[in-house]
Amino acid sequence: MTRTTPRLRFDAFLATHSDDWYVDDPLLHRLLDRHAPDADRARLVAWGPTVAGRLRALAEESACPENAPRLRHRDAHDRRVDEVVLPASTLEALSVVHGEAGLGAVRGDPFVHYAMTYLLAQNGEAGVACSLACTDGLVRALDALGDAGPHRTAVRQVRESLPDGYVHGAQFVTEIQGGSDVPANEARAVPDGDRYRIHGQKWFCSNIAADWFLVTARSRTATGDGTHVGLFLVPAYRGPGRERNGYTIDRLKDKLGTRELATAEVMFDGAEAWAVGPTERGLAHLLRYVLTPSRFACVLFAAAALRRAERIAGEYARFREAFGRPIAEYPLVSRTLEQIATARAAALGCAFELLRLWEAAESPDRQDHHATDFRILLSLAKPVLTRQATALLHEAMSILGGNGIEERFSPLPRLYRDSAIMEIWEGPHNVLFTQALNDLCRFQVDAEAFVERLLGSPRPEIAGPLAAAMDGRTRPGGDGTVALAGLAPTLVRAVGQAAVDRASGVPAR
Ligand SMILES: Cc1cc2nc3c(=O)[nH]c(=O)nc-3n(C[C@H](O)[C@H](O)[C@H](O)COP(=O)(O)OP(=O)(O)OC[C@H]3O[C@@H](n4cnc5c(N)ncnc54)[C@H](O)[C@@H]3O)c2cc1C
């Protein structure tokens, strides 16, 4: 009996997949040419095939349900160990990003560093993205404020990471009664000689397999007449036997997205800790050094996920035929592809603009507005771009029809679920829009000048409503957050498009 060969195979579709995500991204090259013209690109050249090949395969392996992180509470002799069991694929990926690529702390040109992060994030969380963002925050906080032995040890260990011995960080702020309202933290830091002891529960602890934690906790003021939330460094282990440092891992979260990442509920009961900076400045330091890199990582993720969606949906639309034509030829499909491409370009442009402002804000010759512009733009960009990424990943999935919702056919369902987490993690939409409006008012930002600085030309149609939102806040009984949230997508996309135009030699609109 002769067997008939199925008419359709996916080989032609698979053959169109890029095997070098750096080389095939002309916009990334243009943005790097503009912002880091003299930077050595050798790391990026090597990274392009690594992310599209080895790390892509590891991400897909880690995403298999049977490879989900597990918690083993007790060892063979009934000792409580709370071991977090990660699959070999995640451990190898962590070793590549920390030990081989050295991405845990910014080294070399920051534009090249974060371009590598953007390329990596095209694989989704994959058990590594959160680790990198948290380690970045840890190193930034300790570089700026660290003065104790453990502070220096942590930074040195991260910077000296090798493939067979890497060190990374995590950050635990959120408690059961709320994550946005950090001043309501109830975990306590009790002074104990030259250190503190942490007591209390943390409700969402991602990258729980890390070596060093940054933890917020309430402590007494120096004068002892009140309390405030400070920032503390907590080693994951203590003693020669590497016992857990005074905490238990009680449960792993069963999450919609970022499923390759172990996120835990943790109870601290006397963990040794060292204050990072003056404890009464804990919230300011948390925002500046810890939450800022994580929020920026969410922006990079949004651009990266859309880049992957653009590729996969475009390749599929050119491959798949319906009613005798490639579906890419139907205007409804091509319009969706165009929307994804435009959004991805603007998201990446906005990420580069944010990084330019961040670098300027941290440089010795900064101007007054750099730090404010960066802070406000980041608070607007994170919610706008992550929400947009989720919506467009959904559209990209629908271009693949039934195959679009099949978990193994493409990474789009996984990226979609990860993107939903990026919307919540490190500050949900409302909280960030509110923070942006608070900052606009607190720093008495001139709306016209702010918009002109970001867009390169006066834009009264944006500056006018921005000033009105600020007026809304200052009027008795007024608010302004709803108006700002409504305006934010227009402003953020315009900033991104302006950055793309500048990198492409297009005059300001
Ligand atoms: C997968 C995952 C991993 C995480 N990992 C970590 C981690 O490693 N470390 C960590 O510390 N946290 C982590 N988190 C927690 C995350 O940062 C919080 O969920 C987030 O900050 C929001 O806090 P919440 O969930 O308590 O929501 P809430 O703060 O209770 O907010 C609930 C709702 O109220 C709204 N809201 C709050 N305040 C206002 C306001 N002033 N105006 C208008 N609306 C408001 C919010 O926008 C939100 O919609 C993680 C979360 C997830 C989902």
- What confidence tens digit (pLDDT) does each residue in 379-431 have? 999 999 999 999 999 999 999 999 999 999 999 999 999 999 999 998 999 99
User: What is residue 372's predicted lDDT score, i.e. its pLDDT?
Assistant: 97
Q: What's the whole-number mean pLDDT along residues 243-267?
A: 97
Residue 347 corresponds to which amino acid?
A: A
The CA 180 to ligand 1 mean position distance, Å, reads 5
Q: Kindly tell me the sign of the dihedral angle through the C-alpha atoms of 298, 299, 304, 306.
A: positive
The per-residue pLDDT for range 77-97, each reduced to its tens digit, is: 999 999 999 999 999 999 999
Q: How confident is the model at residue 47 (pLDDT cuts 50, 70, 90)?
A: very high
Average pLDDT of the chain, as a whole number: 95
Which of 52-66, 161-175, 215-229 has the lowest average pLDDT? 215-229
Q: Is the CB of 431 under 6 A from ligand 1?
A: yes
Helix H or strand E encompassing 44:
helix 42-52
Protein residue with its CA nearest to atom 20 in ligand 1: 179
**Per residue in 214-253, pLDDT tens?**
999 999 876 777 889 999 999 999 988 889 999 999 999 9
The residues, ordered by sequence, that sit 6+ positions from 144 with a Cβ below 8 Å of its Cβ are: 277, 285, 289
Quick one: CA torsion of 296, 302, 305, 310, rounded to 10 degrees? -130
> Is pLDDT at 508 greater than 80 in this prediction?
no
Q: Give the distance (Å) from ligand 1 centre to CA of residue 431.
A: 9
* Residue 113 clears pLDDT 90, i.e. is over it: yes
Atom of ligand 1 nearest to the CA of 134: 8
Tell me which residue has its CA closest to atom 11 in ligand 1: 173
Q: Residue 7's pLDDT band (boundaries 50, 70, 90)?
A: low
Dump pLDDT digits (tens) for 329-376.
999 999 999 999 999 999 999 999 999 999 999 988 888 899 999 999
Q: Tell me the H-state helices in 242-291.
A: 282-285
DSSP calls for 96-112:
IIIIIS--SS--S-HHH
Query: What span, in angstroms and rounded, lies between the C-alpha atoms of 415 and 411?
Result: 6
Tell whether ligand 1 has an atom less than 6 A from the beta carbon of residue 427. yes
Check if the beta carbon of residue 354 is closer than 8 Å to that of residue 299: yes
The predicted model gives 433-444 an average pLDDT of 96
Q: Lowest mean pLDDT of 59-68, 224-233, 304-313, name the range.
A: 224-233
In angstroms, the CA 177 to CA 159 distance is 35
C-alpha closest to that of 41 among 33, 49, 52: 33
Q: How many residues are present in the chain? A: 509
Residue ID of nearest Cα to ligand 1 atom 40: 431
Is there an atom of ligand 1 within 6 Å of 255 CB? yes
Q: Do 317 and 332 form a contact (C-beta atoms < 8 A)?
A: no
CB 229 within 8 A of CB 185: yes
Q: Which residue is associated with the tokens 């002769």?
A: 2
pLDDT given at position 226: 80
Mean predicted confidence (pLDDT) in 262-275: 98
Cα–ligand 1 centroid distance for 420 (angstroms) = 13
Would you say residue 509 has pLDDT above 90?
no
Between vectors from CA 347 to CA 372 and to CA 411, what angle results, nearest 5°?
135
- For the Cβ of 363 lying below 6 angstroms from any atom of ligand 1, the answer is no
What would the mean pLDDT of 253-259 be, rounded to a whole number? 97
Rounded to the nearest angstrom, the distance between the alpha carbon of 310 and the centre of ligand 1 is: 29
Tokens read off for 72: 């083993």
Query: Which atom of ligand 1 lies closest to the CA of 426?
Result: 17
Q: How far is the CA of 13 from the centre of ligand 1 (A)?
A: 40
Q: What is the pLDDT of residue 5?
A: 63
Residue 430: CB within 6 Å of ligand 1? yes
% of residues, the chain, pLDDT over 70: 98
| 76 pLDDT above the threshold of 70 | yes
Chain Cα centroid distance, residue 203: 19
pLDDT above 60 for 1: no
Does 480 sit in the ligand 1 pocket, CB within 6 Å?
Answer: no
CB neighbourhood size of 106 (10 A): 17
pLDDT of amino acid 474? 79
- What pLDDT is stored for residue 231 in this prediction? 98
Whether 433 has a pLDDT exceeding 80, the answer reads yes
- Distance, in Å, from the CA atom of 300 to the CA atom of 111, rounded to the nearest integer, reads 12
- Residue 109 or residue 241, greater confidence: 109
Q: Which atom of ligand 1 is nearest to the CA of 178?
A: 26
Confidence at residue 4, expressed as pLDDT on a 0 to 100 scale: 64
Nearest atom in ligand 1 to the alpha carbon of residue 175 is: 26
- Residue corresponding to tokens 């962590």: 94
Residue with the bigger pLDDT between 45 and 225: it is: 45
What number is the average pLDDT over the span 169-186? 94
Amino acid making up residue 361: A
Question: Above pLDDT 90, what percent of the chain?
Answer: 91
Per-residue pLDDT at 475 = 81
